[in-house]
Structure 1
């Protein structure tokens, strides 16, 4: 009787995986890195595992795997092993899952992975083991925003493995800091933020990004940044030469934005936009005196 029950359980599990595989449509797709292949869309199936039956059309092709809006809670070395035997997985979309743990070497056989979306999960620093992202040498695009890093900070050592990373979308929050391990991200050129709560900008907030080749930066922090912005803010961005948008309004007038230009002195920058730095409640006319314009007059910008 017990053996019959176990066989029935295995049979039902097998049937469920066959159904899930059937519900994962495929279509031609070009990923963010320009790899033309197949999108395998397993989104929204209420599953916590990859289908065991791999469609024939995925074999020996670039594959974008969409596992968003499912029930994954832990990612391990075995999570993707069935697919990577047959395909080059170039992109994984696994946002909106309840992922709390990524084990060491989870992605170490995904050498062709170019894009990874881990946004809107439940990750924190302790849940991402330090070698979770080892051997992903070709990753260019990472979304890891809308997670739970505000308690212990970023998983800096784990993220330092992405030495080819060019685009990062990440949370900022009270007490955030890009620490020394981020200096490995020397190829980072695009930085986007999801704001969790109000925060200060200190001389160490972005210090770990000083080796990153960021030429364009949008600091759209209206209503969220406190007015004690460090004057050394842009010393952490020595490659910022094309365009910067500074929006510290809401809580602040234009004063913090102008005083943050200190490290732009005697540097050439294409465009600086500061057109929305007003307080929600005006306290009077701002006079552009010598102190406010001290750094601005020494900046060479086209706009």
Structure 2
């Protein structure tokens, strides 16, 4: 089990490397985004793989900017994204000191609106996240199907606690379609074309630790070892009571034992990500929910 808030040794070395760049205080992700804004090709990140044990996960992210595509690997999503962005900067031979974004076009809210009269949904979400301090949108490839000459890709777009899924005949088309659906959802939740929706405040672990509510108290007493328990429902009840979101991500790749895999992501602060496996997708979800409940129980009970 892991949280994105945990700083591993790999994260530490990454931060040291960042500080040596020409633009102090700017991360590779920020520098690459500024370059993408100026060049008209915003970088798009996709989670390609999530593997490893629950206590020691490994994430692989790819980033595409124009015709350049690079990957990065790390013990957290953040670290993997930074590695991918760093690789792209090196590939593009970008000097961070000459990045200039003063010429970018934006609407009155600072959100990129249109390019050649076609809405740039991927760019809109990227700018929205940076402008409002949200987590950057994440695109995950859920499935690849069909014969080689007619491939079909299913991609999920995550924005804070929201999730949208779309299908396309290429990764790029599927990402674009998912982003378009996400923009439409944000506009629907806002009640107009201007996006005014705001995510719920993150639930911090000290709030869980101090909670005396029914489901949390029941979790503290539960052994979490009773066979055939519906941990998915148990997690759903707890999340509704405590005010955080739970999202399950199916991993397309099977384990070496042929079992299904998934990740359960909790919108706590820091974000909690737990791994699960099983003989079916639903069993993998239940296992991931079980791991997440065990983690919350430990964190909410420690003083």
Q: Shorter-normalised TM-score: what interval?
A: under 0.3
Query: RCO greater where, 1 or 2, for CA within 8 Å and sep 6 or more?
Result: 2
Q: Which has the higher helix share?
A: 2
